[in-house]
A and B are shown apart, each in its own frame.
Chain A
Amino acid sequence: MIDALQVRLQRVLRRMMTRPRIDLPLAFGLLLLAGVGLATLYSASGGSMTMIVGQAGRFVMGGALLLLISRIPPSVLRSWTPWLYAGSVALLLVVATLGEVRSGSKRWLDLGVLSFQPSELLKLTMPMMVAWYLHPRQLPPSWKDIVAVGLLIAIPAGLIAEQPDLGTALLVSAAGAFALFLSGMAWWKIGSLLAAVGAMVPVAWHFLHEYQRNRVRTLLDPESDPLGNGWHIIQSQIAVGSGGMFGRGWQHGTQSRLDFLPEHTTDFIFAVFSEEFGLVGVAALMLLYAFIIGRCLWIAMEARDTYSRLLAGAIGMSFFVYVFVNGGMVAGMLPVVGVPMPLVSYGGTSAVSLLTGFGVLMSIHANRKVHD
């Protein structure tokens, strides 16, 4: 009995060594990123061990989920996809009717033990659903398929934007749109669709909340409102700019320590990073992000079928949206929306959901095409 168990264990271990189910370069990139995140958080939080331990705990939990999901073959994930998508949209509807209101928006679902944002689930189930839909179709997609995918994206994105949570709505729709892009949608179709979206912008402006419009207005002229919305933008730019080429050094950023920088452990943590590590640090971190995204796309190219390809590619590319939107917001290029810097910003759900997404990538990698 014991012997049999030992033999099995040895076999499993051998298999893991000879053919690892996880992609080591990607795992290495993620570990490095998590380390940078914790170090920055230590400085930004003023040495709060509660926050460090909490965040590290979430990384461990996310890592465990990553390993767990990497064991599920993509074919199984594909068969679950419609249910997962329908389930997460249903949860969104539940939130819309009886969600818990926190600081003015309705995004949380309280399960008694833990509360979470169902919109976070869509970040993964959305690209899964689009990939699932396009998988059996003839690609590049026809207009009919594009409209269908558009609806699959618009319904949850609209529900999330209504909460209101524009940042997540943006991330969710981007994830779906990338899958569509990667499926080979004709360039002229992409062009005309983008033109149509551009034409919709004035209409969308009409539907924004007043506070959201103010955020756009202050982006254009932050000095006009130095105590309200402009405060975030100005202080964040001062933090970034004062960092210079090499930064002020770890734990030596004054902007966050003296409490000038708002939200300096969550959405604006990248400003702390820029202040303390300078342009060199920013460029290095961008390289790391580029490496992770490139590795994701490489895994996507090696994938076995359309579903895996589209899903892996979309997850990798939407990782870029996080970086770009958050980095742009911190640098005063984009309006203030609640998008975290992935694996660096403090906060539970996004770290866990991101790592879950990478778990899917690992699974796709483990079941890649077999080269002759």
Chain B
Amino acid sequence: MARHRRSIKDTRGESSLFRVRALVGFLLILMGLCALVARYYYLQVQRHDEFALRSDNNRVKPRAIPPARGLIYDRNGVLLADNVPAFRLEVVPEQVPDMKAMLSAIRDVVPLGEDDIETFRKQLKQNRRFDSVPLKLHLTEDEIARFAINRWRFPGVDVVPYLTRRYPFGPLFAHVVGYVGRIDADDLNRLDADRYKGTSHVGRSGLERSYEDVLHGEPGYELVEVNADGRVQRVLETHPPVPGKNLYLSIDARVQKAATEAFDGRPGSAVAIDPRNGQVLAMVSVPSFDPNLFVNGISKADYAAYMNAEDKPLLNRALKSAYPPGSTVKPFLALGGLELGIRRPEDTVLSTGEFCIPGQQRCYRDDTRGGDGTVNMVRAIEKSTNTYFYKLALDMGIDRLASWMGGLGFGRKTGIDLLGEAEGILPSREWKAARSKYPWFQGETIIAGIGQGYWNVTSLQLAHAIATFAGHGVPYAPRLVMATSAVKERPVPLPNPPAGPSLIRKPNDWNVVNQGMEAVVTGGTGKRVFIGFPYVVAGKSGTAERFSRRSNDYDTNKNTAYLAARHRAWFMAYTPVDAPRIAVVAMLEAGAWGADDAGPIVRKVMEAWIVATGGSVPPRATPETAPGPASSVPDVPEDTPVATPADLSAMPADSASTATPEDGGNP
């Protein structure tokens, strides 16, 4: 081709050049298509006999074998999630002459719910006509027998065995282990189709979901011979699947049971953590639900009952419900005061019953009318003296407070091996700036010092924080699964290294705060709860208000039911004090007083743990009559000016009578 050397575009020359190129291009394309046809000639004519024979012999095809799902055990090998053989009804649409007639006729043999039919119809649309579609899962013996007799009436319908999931403990582990559910259209888009060939269920909540990859395993396949209609004649070769790995929880089923029973049906949650490694020893959310109902598709009526229940049984309170922590933040704040060099242990504060910001009208109250007198740090923790912590929070300032408490894990996820954790709220300038047009007010710092105001904390976060403290400041992410094991192999522990260096730099700071919390149990709010307990316990109660106070008057209504409707009760504790091995938090959504209502739950969890670890618990020295009947008025009225340590047991743990977040700091 001649090279054109012109400075102006030559449209005519270009056009003819293009013409040549287009013709050459078309010739090349024709050659390409001819080459393709030649290849097809080679396959379809020259090698036709060979391929026709192979096609006729093509009776062998691979079929996926779903892997058995890993089992779930507690720390002692008690089975929490099991696979049991079951039977389901399957339909090959192509072989059903009249789908409508079949569906109405089969209902007389095997009862079908509207849900079954609806799911079946949906899957029918997605599948090809010769793929079998499950019609009803988990047939009863009776249904199988009745179908067997009537089988001849239903061509294309068959009973097929499969493995289904069973949770022997039912509601006890529902919030921890979770449940599996049938794979639906959404799952199909999300999951790797090759790994889930032949699998009917997938983890939907709890550990079943967060450990789905570990539990699922790898599918195998078998080579099956089929007849001209595609029906399987025999199995030629089997490549077995690799079953999913088993999980070993750090939870002890006995402790879990004791914790659940301690609630006696009252809504709340409890979490027990081993401070030495972050292992969760119990995690309870009351009320619970039966996970077995979800496995083969929950009926609409059952689901509606759960969804409409006022106490929300499907909600994992330990993980997702965040409430103001009340006075339980005080020991952590005290530790911050020491570590940040704002307080020495011996520094004292005079509690007069009222704390006013210098130069402002607004005042914040102590629980005790008239105050607790002069208190140092240990005494302030023991008596939960609000004034001490108002002043400490004020001296610390909200920025240092937020940063210190944030370091303990408040306001963010703890990193537990469950999905859907709530973050709670850590009061800070940034948090408020993102949500309000008002700046941060000093009053908000003050009430943050006693765990009121914007504060919101989950039981898990508080348990994580107290376990971190009990472990001398070394933070571990809470872990429910402590080991996994492949089939027929020994369990392999999952490592859980500390999430960071110790938060406590001076060992004596720990001693001071620990001493304060010990005093809570020996002489403070927790005294009555732990009488006769074999180990030395340290703890702190919290009673957070559910509603804002409308007036600044002391509430004189002492009716427990009335108070329970207004308060949330917290209690956190760890034991043994010299080398803590268990830290427990209990929260009652409607508890009158932290120590008296949530405290006994903590004690019962600890007792169950002692028994589970081979110790023994002496019988209760004092029967639990201390709180008295619901209507009884505590023997010492709340407003007694000076309370002796003995009387403190009857005192409200705190119930900070402060201004509310809404009006607390705003002008």
Contacts and interface: CB of A to CB of B under 8 A. Distances in A.
B375 to A, nearest CB: 55
A245 B55 contact: no
Nearest to B125: A50
Given A46-B94, A184-B18, A290-B29, A237 B45 contact: no
A184 B33 contact: no
A30 B55 CA distance: 33
Given A278-B44, A331-B39, A184 B17 contact: yes
A179 to B, nearest CB: 11
Interface string B602-640: 000000000000000000000000000000000000000
Interface string A266-296: 0000000010001100110010011001100
A79 interface: no
A320 interface: yes
Nearest to A317: B25
A187 B192 contact: no
A252 B63 CA distance: 23
Contacts of A313: 18, 21-22, 25
Contacts of B14: 139, 184, 306
Contacts of A139: 4, 9, 14, 17
B128 A45 contact: yes
A48 interface: yes
A2 interface: no
A21 interface: no
Contacts of B18: 182-184, 300-301, 306, 309-310, 313
Contact of B51 (A186, A241, A283, A327): A241
A184 B22 CA distance: 10
A240 to B, nearest CB: 5
Contacts of A159: none
Contacts of A310: 18
Nearest to B7: A138
B40 A331 contact: yes
B94 A238 contact: no
B441 interface: no
B15 A258 contact: no
Interface in A305-354: 305-306, 309-310, 313, 317, 320, 323-324, 327-328, 331-333
B58 A258 contact: yes
B8 to A, nearest CB: 8
Among A45, A50, A137, A320, chain B packs the most CB atoms within 10 A around the CB of: A320
B25 A182 contact: yes
Contact of A297 (B6, B26, B51): B26
A259 B59 CA distance: 11
Nearest to B131: A259
Contacts of A243: 44, 48
A44 to B, nearest CB: 10
Given A184-B17, A238-B55, A258-B58, A294 B26 contact: yes
A260 B43 contact: no
Contacts of B154: none
Contact of B33 (A48, A183, A290, A300): A290
Interface residues of A, number: 65
Interface in A231-264: 231, 235, 237-245, 254-255, 257-260
Interface residues of B, number: 53
B399 interface: no
B230 interface: yes
Given A283-B37, A324-B32, A324-B36, A181 B25 contact: yes
Given A257-B230, A279-B40, A331-B40, A242 B128 contact: no
Contacts, number: 165
B58 A260 contact: yes
Given A290-B29, A313-B18, A241 B9 contact: no
A360 to B, nearest CB: 17
Interface SS of A by simple majority: helix
Interface in A213-247: 227, 231, 235, 237-245
A187 B29 CA distance: 17
Nearest to B128: A46
Contact of A328 (B21, B39, B94, B221): B39
Contacts of A332: 43
A158 interface: no
Nearest to B46: A241
B54 A238 contact: yes
Given A237-B43, A240-B43, A241-B43, A289 B52 contact: no
A265 to B, nearest CB: 9
A184 B45 CA distance: 40
A227 B62 contact: yes
A242 B189 contact: no
Contacts of A283: 37, 40
Interface string A150-189: 0000000000000000000000000000100111101100
B91 to A, nearest CB: 15
A333 B607 CA distance: 73
A35 interface: no
Contact of B45 (A138, A279, A324): A279
A111 B193 CA distance: 24
Nearest to A237: B43
A109 to B, nearest CB: 15
Nearest to B48: A244
A102 interface: yes
B84 interface: no
B471 to A, nearest CB: 39
Contact of A245 (B23, B45, B47, B54): B45
B44 A282 contact: yes
B234 interface: no
Nearest to A184: B17
Q: Which 10 A-B pairs have the closest CB atoms?
A: A241-B51, A242-B55, A184-B17, A279-B44, A241-B43, A244-B48, A242-B52, A320-B29, A46-B129, A297-B22
Interface of B: 1, 3-4, 6-7, 9-11, 14-15, 17-19, 21-23, 25-26, 29-30, 32-33, 36-37, 39-41, 43-45, 47-48, 50-52, 54-56, 58, 61-62, 94, 125, 128-130, 189, 192-193, 221, 226, 228, 230
Given A259-B130, A331-B36, 14 more contacts: A46-B129, A103-B192, A103-B193, A140-B3, A231-B62, A238-B55, A241-B43, A255-B58, A258-B58, A258-B230, A274-B44, A279-B37, A286-B33, A320-B29
15 contacts: A46-B128, A46-B129, A47-B129, A103-B192, A138-B4, A181-B25, A183-B21, A184-B1, A254-B228, A258-B58, A258-B226, A282-B40, A297-B22, A306-B14, A327-B36
